[in-house]
Amino acid sequence: MNNVAPAMDFSIDSTRATRPALNVLVAAPRGFCAGVDRAIHIVELALERWGAPVYVRHEIVHNKFVVDSLKAKGAVFVEELDEVPDGVPVVFSAHGVPKAVPAKAEERGLTYVDATCPLVSKVHRQAERLVAAGCHILFIGHQGHPEVIGTFGQVPDGAMTLIETLHDAQAVQPANAARLGFLTQTTLSVDDTSEMVAELKRRFPAIEGPRGDDICYATSNRQAAVKAMAPRCDLVLVIGAANSSNSQRLREVAEREGAKSWLIQRAAEIDWAWFDGVKTVGVTAGASAPEVLVQEVLAAMAARYAVTSENITTAVEEVVFKLPRSLTA
């Protein structure tokens, strides 16, 4: 799905000559991925089919603007299934949930729709296969992230060990080194994860990995775009939420490439002191951030500077995921 809008054109602004010049590089791809787009659409379709309220367990995606927009349409967000009343539909977030959650929903007779990103669901199935084959799984991810909680909840307790850092990969001592597998969270740093995977393969040559890269295409593509853009930038703004793993990784990638970088949810959070001495600014957005927020940030800069804008395009995304049949039949 290519939902990246072009950089804004400020060439006809008659007041440009009175403002300081600013070069703005806009990363592409940026913003919504196919999994996020699908999850939001699922909530909207559920509201159309069943009417308000539709309950959503956990934030459907990690973005306040998106969540607030869905709240205005009648979605009610809760953290646990116990908070969902009997007789109302519930949607599970794009990050995935432990198996016990849909099982409990069925036990209560709740109508539910699973909006788990298909790429996260793929990791769930890989975990099941590895455990069924007798492997213990070393799972690379961040403690407490909903995706990690959901993936651990696909297999019996004790079947997985969390690896958060390179030190963890160097220190882990599995009970049976001959029967190991590894999987990863889909929204990690490509470079950090590569280092950890290389260390696990060095220490445990027989370890079984996923059939493909677990880090999703959108995460990889957005990081690649920032890598291409950031060396030309004095400052990079990443639009996304603080609890968005993929957005935090974009900020880290920009800093590693030598640019100052800040994570903001929208234009109102910009501290214009960041721009002191800055000639070139990069702009990108995490996979849960809608394009309207990118354009809002670009407009805020155009109101203060004579902006010259350029897209930095490293990939074109055309991925689309099917919607659940229960909402389309």
Who's near 205: CB < 8 A, 6+ residues apart?
Answer: none
Q: How far apart are CA 189 and CA 251, in angstroms?
A: 10
Phi and psi torsions of 187, nearest 5°: -115, 30
Consecutive H or E run containing 96:
none
80 is known as an active-site residue? no
Q: How far apart are CA 102 and CA 168, in angstroms?
A: 32
237 forms bridges with which residues in the sheet?
262, 283
Peptide bond into 20 cis (omega under 30): no
- Asked whether the beta carbons of 78 and 55 are under 8 A apart, the reply is yes
* Candidate list 48, 83, 107, 147, residue with the active-site label: 147
Q: How far apart are CA 28 and CA 285, in angstroms?
A: 9
For 266, the token pair is 């929208």
DSSP string of 128-188, one letter each residue: HHHHHTT-EEEEES-TT-HHHHHHHTTS-TTSEEEE-SHHHHHH---S-TTSEEEEE-TTS
- Asked whether the beta carbons of 42 and 113 are under 8 A apart, the reply is yes
Catalytically active residues are 147
